Chain A
Amino acid sequence: MTFLEIVSILARGAGFTILVTLACILTGFFSGLLAALLFRLDIRPLNWLLHAFTYTFRGIPLLVILFLVFFGLPSIGLPIPPLVAMMLSLGLICGAYLSEVFRGALEAVDPNELMAAQSMGMRRIQILTAIEIPQMLRFSAPGMLNEFTTVLKYSPFAYTVGVPEILKEATSLALTTLRGMEIYLAVGVLYFLIYKIMMEMFLWVERRYAIPGFKQI
């Protein structure tokens, strides 16, 4: 079995790796955005809840949360499919970190621009969608890319709840062929390729929507 054949066998698991990564990124993006916007409302009891969310999901290891969701919830009558368990663990951890990235980026929006929009007669929601969120997303780009990369690199934890992603395929193959060195090297190559493609796509979007002449803060 050649190295390329090993890679092609492992590539079958790449689809699941990409699926898990994308599902967790989307969960993280929207939960992080929602948390950052809710923080903006500055309602004290809500702030406590949001702080509890960010501290909990940033402070407890991924594997603990994943096992709590996947093995813990069924014991109280809530069976969770593996992909959903990943979204509720890795996805929400990503969301907890992204909410902080988004909060910082929202703070970077020039208050004078918000006042200008207010003075035009724009309502809060219009200011949010037309001024704040478009700028916030641009300012958050480096932080978002970091988080998305982290999600990709933590995606092999899906293996522990039975998702047949790259690492699971690799482990099965290594057990039957005893060619661990080449197989895990191939795993590294595949992850790097996925990372590289993801990063290039993200950077293309970032360049496409960059504010001309504006230097990133």
Chain B
Amino acid sequence: MTATSAMADTIETTAPPARRRGRTGTVRIVGSLAVVAFYALCAAFGPILFRFDPVAVDTRNRLLAPLSHTSEGHLVLFGTDQIGQDLLAKMMQGARVSMTIGISALLLSGLIGLVFGILAGWFGGWLDSVLMRLADIQLAFPGILLAILIAAVLGPSVGNVIVVLSISGWVTFARVTRGQALATKNREYVDATRVLGARTWHVVRTCVLPSCRAPFLVIAALHIGDVILAEASLSFLGLGTPATTPSWGTTIAGGRDLLSTAWWISAIPGIALAVLVVAFGVLGDALRDRYDPKLAGR
């Protein structure tokens, strides 16, 4: 149901121009936020309602199909996996892990990007050259490859995945911040603030940062989907979260060898993940249409 509402919202992307102006994309923003909120609730309260024990083994209830009943008579909505764990409970736990990683990595890369962007754009000079060449070099690296390399050295853990994904994600944020800093730097109101005796930090805080808010929101919504996908890929390769804290990626990878006998172990977490990323994608597009009319409809 969430998938269809997200899809219905996408269709609004191509709505006729007359409906675009004013509060562009409100339906899409509200709809996708509702999906995200649903996931956030699942992540927050799901593991409390459906207790997940990573080491519990229940051999009698192995590989039950979705909507079947366990030997104790409980309904398992999404079925069970190869060691008899309820897939629904595992996915609730996975929602917590994946979304924590996604949000933490997003905040960290946003922060790195913001600091580097302001250093580059506001102070300029050699610092600008160094930071922007660093960004160029990093873009020459396929992002997932850099993440794989760092994750391989650091080893699998939740903290390491967050660090890895933040390192590969800061460039976009830095470029946008730098652009905004350059654009505001020579405006009259910035000069006026300076003439009134404001320190650099004050000018940056009151003049540059507010102009970054809208583009940051757009990039954040588009980027968090990529982060969640990248986390799943890393976990699939065994470089993400350890089996005791199963993310969606770990769960999908765990069902890989059972595709023909128990398709649901891989399929259902994948669908859950895709719906969330679609919601973030719709949200990002809608925010971009609202805040950046030049890019609308692209």
Q: A and B: real partners?
A: no
